[in-house]
Amino acid sequence: MSEQETPKARPAVRTLSDLARIAGVSAGTVSRALAGNSLVNTDTRERIVALARDHGFRPNKMASSLRRQKTDVIGIAIPLGHDSRQQISDTFFITLLGHLADALTERGYDLMLRRVIPERDEDWLDRFIGSGMIDGLLVIGQSDQFDRIEDAADGYLPMVVWGNHAEGQRHCVVGTDNRLGGRIATERLIAGGARHIYFLGDTSAVEFAARYAGAVDAAERLGVTITPLTSHLSSDRLEAEVAANLDRSFEPGDAIFAATDTLAIASLARLKALGIAVPDQVRIVGFDDLPLAAQTTPPLTTVRQEIRAGAFAMVDLLIRRISGEDTESIVMPPHLVGRHSG
């Protein structure tokens, strides 16, 4: 077994200079050859490339990054401000992350993921930016860090944020028109006969606050009562909070607008446990249109966000910002997906 251990017991080619010595050229030439630089003679280049392959040589990325002042790595920060536990597992964020990974990989970037708990680390944004490890930064969700993000954006161009767009904000954001989404969800409920709407969500996150604001717009305009109920997204609290919030007597005309499909699905489960029929006794509308939303009983009526398109837009904007352009934000329209829950 240990004698087998040396199929390639060569001195190990670790650096450009090692390879250069073997090839009988200088390190500079090897560097240029591997970079496909046309300055080197074609024969030389092919010989060097072949040698590199044979010896399994890979240039050290740290050294390269240092010299070029470019890492080909994009940072992804997930602030867990208003909800410090485990928001990373929220299906929506994860789906977005998956698509971002797709888009970035396609463009030749690696991604460096960092969970951030702003309460414990005031300095998270500047630290990440200043580390020199990343060429650009994507922030997934503003959480309650809107102001800090604004501050950072003043001095750091290559940053794009997923979240809500506010009038006159300075950082570049991609997201859904949350207020409009809240409005159409609420209008749907009211059109279905709702007279009293409970909003389930955590309004200290700006995205959700905007959905709530939209709901209030519609409710007030149409003369319907609306009551906010705070429910967090962290998986360890979600069920209990939803249960507590729904432990009330519902009357005809009551309805629920959940800030998130995750919350809506938990509500569905809770109501079933309580023996309350959806949508007959209580109507529910969610937000996101996760794949799961179509599979619940009854299938969930929800407001769709275009996650994949959003992810690709974020990457596109970021890359333009990296090259110096000061891009505008993108606000995507939400679409109501009418199914059977509300």
Nearest approach in angstroms of CB 221 to a second copy is 35
Give me the least distance between CB of 22 and DNA, in Å please. 12
Query: Omega of the bond prior to 228 within 30 degrees of 0, cis?
Result: no
Helix (H, G, I), strand (E, B) or coil at 199: strand
Q: Which residues pair with 315 in a beta bridge?
A: none
Return the C-alpha torsion angle 127, 130, 136, 141, nearest 10: 20
# binding residues, DNA (CB under 7 A): 28
With CB under 5 to 8 Å by kind, the binding choice for 34 among DNA, a second copy, none is: DNA
Which span sits near DNA by CB under 7 A: 40-48, 102-110, 144-152, 304-312? 40-48
55 scored as a contact of a second copy (CB under 8 A): no
Q: Tell me how far apart the alpha carbons of residues 123 and 143 are, in angstroms, rounded to a whole number.
A: 15
Comparing CA positions, the residue from 153, 65, 138 lying closest to residue 103 is: 138
Q: Which is nearer to a second copy, 189 or 271 (CB)?
A: 271
Please state, in angstroms and rounded to a whole number, the distance separating the CA atoms of residues 302 and 65: 45
Please give the Cα distance from 265 to 256 (Å, whole number): 11
> Looking at 28-36, 199-207, 209-217, 231-239, which segment touches DNA (CB under 7 A)?
28-36
Amino acid at 258: A
Partner from DNA, a second copy, none contacting 314, C-beta within 5 to 8 A by type: none
d(CA 264, CA 283): 11
Alpha helices (H) along 55-115:
61-68, 91-106
Please select the residue that binds a second copy; options are 132, 193, 252, 333, rule is CB under 8 A. 132
* Residue 67 is a binding residue for DNA (CB under 7 A): yes
Binding partner of 56, given DNA, a second copy, none, CB within 5-8 angstroms per partner class: a second copy
Cα separation, 326 vs 317, in Å, equals 9
Candidates 20-28, 104-112, 179-187, 333-341: pick the segment binding a second copy (CB under 8 A).
104-112
**In whole angstroms, how close is the CB of 334 to DNA at the nearest point?**
44
Burial group, residue 335, by CB count within 10 angstroms (0-12, 13-18, 19+): middle
Q: Does residue 50 belong to the site contacting DNA (CB under 7 A)?
A: no
**Which of DNA, a second copy, none lies near 29, with the C-beta cut-off 5 to 8 A by kind?**
DNA
Q: How far apart are the first and last CA of the chain?
A: 66
Burial of 11 (0-12, 13-18, 19+ CB in 10 A): exposed
Binding DNA (rule: CB under 7 A), the pick from 10, 12, 24, 325 is 24
**Residue 52 touching DNA (CB under 7 A):** no
The residues that touch DNA, with contacts defined as CB under 7 A, are: 14-17, 24-29, 31-32, 34-35, 38-42, 44, 59-60, 63-64, 66-69
The residues that touch a second copy, with contacts defined as CB under 8 A, are: 5, 56, 58, 60-63, 65-66, 71, 73, 86, 88-89, 91, 94-95, 97-98, 101-102, 105, 110-115, 126-127, 130-133, 154, 235, 265-266, 268-269, 272, 291-292, 295, 297
